[in-house]
Amino acid sequence: MSENRFWLWGLLVVSIGAALWYRSQILPATADDQPQTTRVVFITGGDNDFWQLAAKGAKAAALEHNAKLKTEMVSREGGLEEQTQILLGLNEDEIDGCAVSPLDAQGQTLLINRLARKMNVVTYDSDAPISERQYYIGTSNYLAGKISHELVREAIPEGGKIAVFLSNITKNNMLERKSGYEESEKKLQSDNPPQDASAPVWQTVAYLTDEGDTAKSQANITKALENHDDLACLVGMNAYQGPLLLEALTKAGKIGEIKLVVFDELDDTLEGIETGSIYATVAQDPYKYGYEAVRMLTLLHNGKSRELPIVGGGAINVNCQAIRKADVEAFRKRLKDRLEESK
């Protein structure tokens, strides 16, 4: 073969390669390149406004990321038993991914493990950290607990007695919130020299659980007020407790006398902060929990490994924030804009 002919063949090969590359970059993707539809079940831990907002985030992600979404809204009355039955009834032939906020991290771990061997599983809001779930989407509840204690110190800078209300101490997020809160209080106690009688002292005198039962929560608040007539602050670590605490203090005529620090962004809670009846709330981002949980499942299903965090037991952190009176207006606007976008 002559040198000229060899050179021409080489040029032809390079030209064909360049044309193929150009075609792959410019022409639209084929059907085989399009993301597969991901069949997702989104299981909540309750049915109040917090979970409704999480479900809206899940719906928005499903529309944007080609997912067929089924939402299972666990009722307040059904609770753990209802959620467990939903998990037991999932059919691997009909579902590609499951997002769940486990109500009993330890008790549901084996069930989550069985599901994770058949489909992609992520947890959100509350984790099952020793399970085989692939990712957790949520805030650092330990940090949220620490923030709540910081707000208590702001609300009652002179110190005083505190009662804390929780739904339970089986759900991982509740355990972490309580731990962060307690660690903050213990550190303050160890930092303050005992001989300094002038230093303020913050003392939590009761931790009361209600298992998500409104009537029991109301009874717990009444019990705390009766047993400790010198309380300076009440802390509600679940969304529904904020309005209940506000109602109880209003009836007892103790608004302003006893400060309130609560969690999440229910309308009654935000109104209470605006009027000064509630000092502050620790707001999470349930909409983003739902959105990221569904988005993550679509990425897992389609093998988009380069778009995922570090493989295996990863977490997507969603920041929480303290909302005081000066923050409410901007927070409401941001929340409204997000809900409008998801319609």
**pLDDT tens by residue, 43-102:** 999 998 889 999 999 999 999 999 999 999 999 889 999 999 999 999 999 999 999 999
SS3 for 87? helix
SS3 for 241? helix
CA–CA dist 325, 185 (Å, integer): 24
Strands 321-323 and 280-283: antiparallel
141-283: CATH architecture = 3-Layer(aba) Sandwich (3.40)
Specify the amino acid at residue 39. R
Mean per-residue pLDDT over the chain, rounded? 88
Contact 282, 254 (CB under 8 A): no
The average pLDDT across 313-317 equals: 79
**54-58, 75-79, 204-208, 241-245: least confident range:** 75-79
Confidence of residue 7 (pLDDT cuts 50, 70, 90): low
CA–CA dist 40, 98 (Å, integer): 6
Sheet holding 280-283, edge to edge: 201-209, 159-166, 231-236, 259-263, 280-283, 321-323
Q: How much is the pLDDT for 312?
A: 46
Q: What fold is seen in the domain 32-139+286-319? A: Rossmann fold (3.40.50)
SS3 for 242? helix
CATH topology agreement for domains 32-139+286-319 and 141-283: yes
Among 265, 171, 258, CA closest to 209: 171
| pLDDT of 30 higher than 50 | no
**pLDDT tens by residue, 152-199:** 999 999 999 999 999 999 888 999 999 999 999 999 888 776 656 778
Confidence of residue 251 (pLDDT cuts 50, 70, 90): very high
Q: How much is the pLDDT for 201?
A: 92
Contact 58, 293 (CB under 8 A): yes
Q: How much is the pLDDT for 150?
A: 98
Domain ranges of the chain: 32-139+286-319, 141-283
The average pLDDT across 258-266 equals: 96
| pLDDT of 5 higher than 70 | no
**pLDDT tens by residue, 114-131:** 999 999 999 999 999 999
Contact 277, 29 (CB under 8 A): no
Taking residue 4's Cβ as centre, other Cβ atoms within 10 Å add up to: 8
Q: How much is the pLDDT for 153?
A: 98
Specify the amino acid at residue 234. L
Q: How much is the pLDDT for 335?
A: 83
Q: At what angle do helices 267-275 and 241-252 cross, to 10 degrees?
A: 40
CA–CA dist 261, 245 (Å, integer): 10
**pLDDT tens by residue, 268-305:** 999 999 999 999 999 999 999 999 999 999 999 998 75
Percentage above 90 pLDDT, the chain: 73
Q: What is the pTM of this model?
A: 0.77
